[in-house]
Amino acid sequence: MPSRDPVADLRRIAFLLERANESTYRVRSFRSAATTVAALPVTELAERAAAGTLGELSGVGEVTARCIAESLAGEEPVYLRRLESTEGTDLNGAARKLREALRGDCHAHSDWSDGGSPIEEMALAAVELGHEYLVLTDHSPRLTVARGLPPARLRRQLDYVAKLNDALPEGFRILTGIEVDILDDGSLDQEDALLARLDVVVGSVHSKLRDESPRMTRRMVNAIANPHLDILGHLTGRKVAAEGAGDRGHRKGHTRPPSTFDLDKVIAACLEHGKAIEINSRPDRLDPPKRMLTVAVEAGCLFSIDTDAHAPGQLDWLRYGCERAALCGVPPERVVNTWSMERLLEWAAGHSGKAVGSGRGTN
Ligand SMILES: [Zn+2]
Ligand SMILES: [Zn+2]
């Protein structure tokens, strides 16, 4: 039997575990085993498999050694076969149409901030999912717990992404971006000149989530009026018990109620400035809640269906956002990541011009 590629099998297992929201620890064992094996000469790998000494390699444990041995023997690893057989059910109707219409993802993290994988691995997973682009949105400086990028590091990331793009397959591009913190007064936590250079800016509230409604409303409306902001990330900041995507990775007690603000005013600001409200697909966020999403749909808002992925396998969570969007009647043409990349970029660049032209400041 011809042998399979053990690196591809280990990576596929990691992807499926991430998608099932499994613990980072378990996923990492497969990714680090893949790295170890990829760096090894083929002959040594075969010798070790024959001698039963794969498990002595650093980064390879008992379970991963068994997977590698099975791959080399030409069999699909049992571990992988089991995971593939528990794949999620297919999407139906409107949710499926939405998912098929999505061309990319506007919110994802790499290990430059609090993500678990290098940019290139995130990009390759996006390519495999058939995306035309992935907007890289690592955190901004003040979110130190998530290793937010100070201006100098973000500049370095921009150079790095430009180089990566040269090496990536034709028809796919990493778009530059940021998940910028919306500060207490609604200003954005990054230099204006840098924000202006980025392709897409997602702005989110991560601090003082219990601010009183008038204060939170002002904060959000100011951020929406900022010409640099394109997409308002995870609207309410709530955390829910992760369902559906396998709740094994969920730690009990890590839920958080939605923040309180004047929804009508926030929606009116999004409409006035042509900004999109994110439909965050993370099983532990599912933000905005359906009742708010329905109001925003009826008001005529733009949306972006994103994963907020922190690992490659999580890029496949778009389906959860699509399911909720479909339930709330979100029309595909009002979802900015169903548009062509050119139109998306034009939109992101365009409303900043409009806002400047209309004399609106950033407060
Ligand atoms: Zn966030
Ligand atoms: Zn995020």
Lowest mean pLDDT of 15-29, 44-58, 168-182, 225-239, name the range: 15-29
In angstroms, the CA 111 to CA 296 distance is: 33
In angstroms, the CA 1 to CA 31 distance is: 26
CA angle, 189 then 204 then 348, to 5°: 85
CA 106 to ligand 1 center in whole angstroms = 12
pLDDT at residue 244 greater than cutoff 80: no
- Sign of the Cα torsion 245, 249, 251, 252 reads positive
For residue 359, the model assigns a pLDDT of 33
What is the pTM (predicted TM-score) of this model? 0.88
- Sign of the Cα torsion 179, 250, 291, 279 reads positive
pLDDT at residue 246 greater than cutoff 60: no
CA 304 to ligand 2 center in whole angstroms = 13
Mean pLDDT of the chain: 91
CA 179 to ligand 1 center in whole angstroms = 7
CA 180 to ligand 2 center in whole angstroms = 9
213 three-state secondary structure: helix
In angstroms, the CA 95 to CA 322 distance is: 5
CA 285 to ligand 2 center in whole angstroms = 11
In angstroms, the CA 164 to CA 123 distance is: 9
CA 132 to ligand 2 center in whole angstroms = 20
Q: What is the DSSP-derived secondary structure letter of residue 335?
A: B
Q: Which two tokens stand for residue 319?
A: 């389906």
Q: How confident is the model at residue 361 (pLDDT cuts 50, 70, 90)?
A: very low
CA 42 to ligand 1 center in whole angstroms = 42
CA 121 to ligand 2 center in whole angstroms = 17
Q: Which residue has the higher pLDDT, 28 or 172?
A: 172
In angstroms, the CA 274 to CA 301 distance is: 8
In angstroms, the CA 120 to CA 161 distance is: 9
Identify which ligand lies nearest to the alpha carbon of 287: 1
pLDDT (average), residues 191-217: 96
CA 316 to ligand 1 center in whole angstroms = 18
Q: Which two tokens stand for residue 182?
A: 């919306």
CA 286 to ligand 1 center in whole angstroms = 12
CA 97 to ligand 2 center in whole angstroms = 25
For residue 241, the model assigns a pLDDT of 83
